[in-house]
Amino acid sequence: MARAIPVRRKILWTALAWTIGILIFFPILWTFLTSFKTEAEAIASPPSFLFFDWTTENYAEVQERSNYFRHFMNSVVISLGSTLAGLFIAVPAAWSMAFSPTRRTKDILMWMLSTKMLPPVGVLVPLYILFRDGGLLDTRTGLVIVLTLINLPIIVWMLYTYFKEIPGEILEAARMDGASLMKEIVYVLTPMAIPGIASTLLLNVILSWNEAFWTLNLTASKAAPLTAFIASYSSPEGLFYAKLSAASTMAIAPIVILGWFSQKQLVRGLTFGAVK
């Protein structure tokens, strides 16, 4: 029988959750509101929260100055391309580690994860030279490759965790029925791990969408995604806060909407196998 939770405790935890949620969301809300202010109102002190002269001029100027839709398509192609490429590599790798482990499997997983601890600037120069000499600078293909390699450890770790929750007897039964290795992965393993794969896909799309270091250093104009689009509103003359807020709102809106509509799937995938 489940233990009853006192009403007072429920109220306290609910109030705490709402407070934390508002604190996390407030910078996004403030950016959104600032995007409708004039530059003078954006830097006014004390700042005005709702009572100001609302204007959409910033959005018009941003679109006139920069081709938002080109940057948006670059972000879509780069984030989806790197995530799908990572899944294509990570699914077989995670399968082998989960169902054919060796004594070194845990060491390999830890080594893969440790590569995320390396400061990106430490490999910027050699990677830049490789991209320059290979003709990959300022190309979508180059960014897809580098973001795939950067996020691959996370994809493998997440899929490994999900695959470990699937009973190995099911795969053995498929082998006894004559399923090849490819059919075992595609028709047996993948459907059973759809919640985990979906959450992995969503999380890595978000990570790739928000990646700024590599996109700013390996692109100029042709393949520049929305992170470079935002950075273009920082100039030696100073920050244009209202226009910068408009550009930021246009850049984060698609991923915020995606996260909002896919939150149930994301939570379901992240808690996959937590309760047996």
pLDDT per residue as tens digits for the range 166-215: 887 887 788 787 777 788 777 888 788 887 888 888 888 988 998 989 99
Mean pLDDT, range 88-107, rounded to an integer: 86
Q: Is residue 34 part of a domain?
A: no
Q: Is residue 27 part of a domain?
A: no
Q: Is residue 218 part of a domain?
A: yes
Give the whole-angstrom CA distance, residue 140 versus residue 78: 6
Q: What is the 3-state secondary structure (H, E, C) of 210-257?
A: HCCHHHHHHCCCCCCCHHHHHHCCEECCEECHHHHHHHHHHHHHHHHH
Q: Is residue 262 part of a domain?
A: no
Give the whole-angstrom CA distance, residue 28 versus residue 25: 5
Residue 164 pLDDT: 84
**Contact (CB, 8 A) for 143 and 218:** yes
Q: Is residue 253 part of a domain?
A: no
Give the whole-angstrom CA distance, residue 48 versus residue 40: 11
Read off the pLDDT band of 81 (50, 70, 90).
very high
- Measured on CA atoms in the order 251, 255, 261, 263, is the torsion positive or negative? negative
Residue 139 pLDDT: 92
User: How many domains, in total, are found in the chain?
Assistant: 1
Chain-wide mean pLDDT for the chain?
Answer: 84
Read off the pLDDT band of 102 (50, 70, 90).
confident
Q: Is residue 105 part of a domain?
A: yes
Mean pLDDT, range 35-47, rounded to an integer: 86
Q: Is residue 71 part of a domain?
A: yes
Q: Which pair of tokens denotes residue 223?
A: 């393949």
Mean pLDDT, range 230-252, rounded to an integer: 80
Assess whether pLDDT exceeds 90 at residue 145: yes
**Contact (CB, 8 A) for 151 and 86:** yes
Residue 228 pLDDT: 87
- 87-91 LR contacts (CB < 8 Å, sep 24+): 87/155, 87/159, 87/197, 87/200, 87/201, 89/148, 89/152, 89/155, 90/152, 90/155, 90/156, 90/159, 90/200, 91/159, 91/185, 91/189, 91/190, 91/197
Give the whole-angstrom CA distance, residue 157 versus residue 111: 11
Q: Is residue 251 part of a domain?
A: no
More confident residue, 143 or 50: 143
What does the CA dihedral 99, 103, 107, 108 come to, rounded to 10 degrees? Answer: -50
Give the pTM.
0.82
**Contact (CB, 8 A) for 202 and 265:** yes
What's 124's domain CATH number?
Answer: 1.10.3720.10
Q: What domain range includes position 101?
A: 66-232
Nearest one of 229, 233, 203 to 216, comparing CA atoms: 229
Length of the chain: 276
